[in-house]
């Protein structure tokens, strides 16, 4: 029996049309091709393998890292009349035996398995004797050591390419950055696979960033605009989660704290109540993450900066999966940065890895400090060159407070040029401020024309300017990974240096003023 994808979409899933690249992906996999699918959260990745699973003969094996995710999917599929089951550590021996019998007698369209289960025992040998429709590898970024969610078990999935070379493999992820993508291709041997890249834009999400002054009051005011809506509030530490949750409760919100320090039953009960309820606000650390498959999350609020711009995109991406308007609201202040820097410095990572992490954090800070369309910056970070301002972020919606920084920006670029494009922002700022450090003298940088020409800004402002020049593509990190800055795109740099374009950027207030304001 060969079913028609369009008909399966309608009859089984009840949808009229494929979305974005779904149709092309489904057709490719149905005809036996392997694929790498990069699609944002909520984009509709599941159908990309579920429909081929039903159109192709044999059972589709879906590798998924989270039991809760598998249970959701199996439950939803069964409700739609699809023969699906899961094998993982939380299944009883009886249930596993039943699943196995169904599998052997060809009564399963989809089998969800954890990677441990697939590769641990003899399951893979047993599967080799059965007709298989395809392998789907969900959350494929878990194979990337560079990515944010590395799972060592995923590395062993490389054997699928060797043992099942004739069976299509479809790897799916919502992580778009090119480096993670390359790692997925290499580790899962997907060099021959077609790559499907959906737009990562989430137009229904409104990005609102706010300077952090009184976080508690600001959060309460924001939540007042969200009464009755389900949402997530992310905070950095367990302690802060508890404190914010208590304050919100006192203000009459239906809130639940969530962090890794709570007993597992408490956590799963919270997750359940959030999933099924409406108007429930979860205040959480990033432990509340993957597998939240609630379509009507109306807001995600960050009272502290996330770890990276990628993390910000993933976390805010949990809002508005139903396509209806949603808000990503974030407070940011200069005080957020030092703890994040310390966290990186104190980790066990190799120095090269630490530099990468600092670079990722810089991109986030550049985004938070920017005075141009948030969505454009976010999408350009994810490799999508946006053409126009979005009209749905704070910068687009509210009057711009950027200052003309054309002259300082030209000085910054000159400092990069005169020092040979090999130095990081810290050193370049020293040069511009005219510092007389031993390093500057030994390099002869005190002899350069740019030495000491940048007294109009203080250190914090220069650092912000360098970050924002990097976030906007005027500067790029040198490829050697040592943190040196070089010129970015000629199309941007040249006109600015020649004085043909001007640049407006919002800089933090000078340190003196900041102290003055606090006194």
Residues that bind ligand ADP (CB under 6 A): 15, 18-19, 22, 39, 41-47, 295, 321
Closest CA to 326 of 207, 242, 157: 207
Q: Rounded to whole angstroms, how far apart are CA atoms 455 and 452?
A: 7
Nearest to ligand ADP of 80, 260 (CB atom): 80
Task: Note whether 56 binds Zn ion by CB under 5 A.
Answer: no
39 binds, among Zn ion, ligand ADP, none (CB under 5 to 8 A by kind): ligand ADP
484 binds, among Zn ion, ligand ADP, none (CB under 5 to 8 A by kind): none
Minimum CB distance to Zn ion, residue 362 (Å): 21
**Tokens 């390099």 -> residue:** 443
Q: Kindly indicate which of the ranges 44-52, 144-152, 373-381, 462-470 contains the residues binding Zn ion, using the contact rule CB under 5 A.
A: 373-381
Strands 403-404 and 504-505: antiparallel
Minimum CB distance to ligand ADP, residue 137 (Å): 13
Q: Rounded to whole angstroms, how far apart are CA atoms 425 and 465?
A: 10
Q: Kindly indicate which of the ranges 70-78, 341-349, 391-399, 412-420 contains the residues binding Zn ion, using the contact rule CB under 5 A.
A: 391-399
Nearest to ligand ADP of 17, 93 (CB atom): 17
Nearest to Zn ion of 367, 423 (CB atom): 367
Among 390, 412, 429, 469, the residue binding Zn ion under the rule CB under 5 A is 390
Nearest to Zn ion of 184, 396 (CB atom): 396
Task: Note whether 370 binds Zn ion by CB under 5 A.
Answer: no
Q: How far is CA 275 from CA 271, 279, 282, in A?
A: 6, 10, 10
Task: Note whether 209 binds Zn ion by CB under 5 A.
Answer: no
Minimum CB distance to ligand ADP, residue 72 (Å): 9
Which residues, at least 6 apart from 486, have a Cβ–Cβ distance to it below 8 Å?
Answer: 416, 421, 475, 476, 477, 478
CB 109 within 8 A of CB 54: yes
Nearest to ligand ADP of 65, 484 (CB atom): 65
Task: Note whether 396 binds Zn ion by CB under 5 A.
Answer: yes
Q: Rounded to whole angstroms, how far apart are CA atoms 130 and 105?
A: 9
Q: Rounded to whole angstroms, how far apart are CA atoms 26 and 23?
A: 5
Number of chain residues interacting with Zn ion (CB under 5 A): 6
Q: How far is CA 80 from CA 33, 86, 118, 170, in A?
A: 26, 16, 25, 23
Nearest to ligand ADP of 321, 411 (CB atom): 321
- What residue is closest to ligand ADP based on CB? 44
Q: How far is CA 366 from CA 8, 273, 502, 508, in A?
A: 45, 36, 19, 12
222 binds, among Zn ion, ligand ADP, none (CB under 5 to 8 A by kind): none
Nearest to ligand ADP of 196, 207 (CB atom): 196
Cα angle 14, 202, 10; round to 5: 10
Minimum CB distance to Zn ion, residue 256 (Å): 32
Among 373, 405, 428, 485, the residue binding Zn ion under the rule CB under 5 A is 373
46 binds, among Zn ion, ligand ADP, none (CB under 5 to 8 A by kind): ligand ADP
Minimum CB distance to ligand ADP, residue 43 (Å): 4
Tokens (6 digits) for 87: 């094998």
Nearest to ligand ADP of 18, 466 (CB atom): 18
Closest CA to 112 of 66, 157, 174: 66
CB 50 within 8 A of CB 110: yes
Minimum CB distance to Zn ion, residue 359 (Å): 24
Closest CA to 137 of 159, 120, 121: 159
The one-character DSSP state at 85 is E
Nearest to ligand ADP of 75, 106 (CB atom): 75
Q: Kindly indicate which of the ranges 71-79, 127-135, 168-176, 374-382 contains the residues binding Zn ion, using the contact rule CB under 5 A.
A: 374-382
Q: Rounded to whole angstroms, how far apart are CA atoms 1 and 276?
A: 37
Residues making contact with Zn ion (CB under 5 A): 373, 375, 389-390, 393, 396
């Amino acid at each position: 029996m060969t079913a028609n994808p369009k008909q399966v979409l309608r009859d089984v899933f009840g949808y009229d049309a494929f979305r974005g690249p779904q149709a092309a992906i489904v057709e490719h996999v149905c005809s036996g091709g392997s694929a790498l699918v990069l699609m944002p959260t909520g984009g509709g990745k599941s159908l990309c393998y579920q429909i081929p699973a039903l159109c192709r003969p044999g059972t589709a094996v879906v590798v998924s890292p989270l039991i809760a995710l598998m249970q959701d999917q199996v439950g939803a599929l069964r409700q739609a009349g699809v023969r699906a089951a899961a094998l993982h550590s939380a299944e009883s021996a009886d249930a596993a035996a039943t699943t196995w019998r169904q599998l052997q007698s060809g009564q399963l369209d989809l089998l969800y398995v954890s990677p441990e289960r697939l590769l641990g025992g003899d399951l893979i040998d047993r599967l080799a004797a059965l007709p298989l429709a395809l392998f789907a590898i969900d959350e494929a970024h878990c194979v990337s050591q560079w990515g944010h969610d590395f799972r060592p078990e995923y590395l062993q999935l490389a054997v699928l390419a060797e043992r099942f070379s004739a069976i299509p493999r479809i790897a799916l992820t919502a992580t778009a950055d090119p480096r993670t993508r390359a790692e997925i291709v290499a580790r899962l041997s997907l060099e021959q696979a077609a790559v499907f890249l959906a737009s990562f834009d989430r137009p229904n999400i409104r990005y609102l960033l706010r300077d952090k002054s009184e976080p508690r009051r600001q959060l309460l005011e924001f939540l007042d605009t969200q009464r009755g809506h389900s949402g997530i509030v992310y905070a950095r530490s367990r302690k802060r989660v508890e404190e914010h949750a208590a304050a919100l409760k006192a203000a009459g919100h239906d809130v639940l704290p969530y962090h890794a320090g709570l007993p597992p039953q408490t956590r799963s009960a919270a997750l359940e109540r959030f999933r099924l309820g409406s108007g429930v606000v979860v205040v959480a650390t990033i432990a509340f993450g993957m597998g939240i498959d609630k379509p009507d999350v109306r807001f995600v609020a960050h009272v502290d900066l996330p770890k990276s711009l990628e993390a910000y995109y993933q976390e805010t991406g949990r809002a508005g999966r139903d396509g209806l308007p949603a808000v990503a609201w974030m407070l940011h202040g200069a005080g957020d940065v030092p703890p994040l820097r310390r966290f990186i410095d104190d980790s066990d990572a190799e120095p090269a890895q630490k530099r990468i992490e600092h670079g990722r954090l810089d991109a986030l800070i550049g985004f938070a400090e920017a005075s141009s369309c948030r969505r454009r910056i976010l999408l350009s970070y994810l490799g999508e060159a946006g053409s126009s301002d979005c009209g749905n972020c704070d910068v687009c919606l509210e009057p711009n407070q950027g200052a003309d920084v054309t002259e300082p920006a030209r000085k910054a670029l000159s400092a990069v040029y005169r020092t040979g494009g090999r130095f990081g922002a810290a050193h370049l700022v020293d040069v511009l401020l005219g510092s007389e450090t031993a390093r500057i003298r030994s390099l002869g940088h005190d002899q350069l024309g740019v030495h000491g020409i940048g007294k109009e800004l203080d250190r914090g402002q220069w650092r912000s300017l360098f970050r924002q020049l990097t976030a906007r593509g005027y500067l790029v990190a040198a490829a050697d990974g040592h943190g040196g800055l070089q010129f970015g795109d000629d199309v941007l740099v040249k006109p600015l240096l020649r004085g043909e374009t001007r640049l407006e950027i919002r800089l933090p207030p000078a340190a003196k003023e900041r102290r003055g304001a606090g006194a």
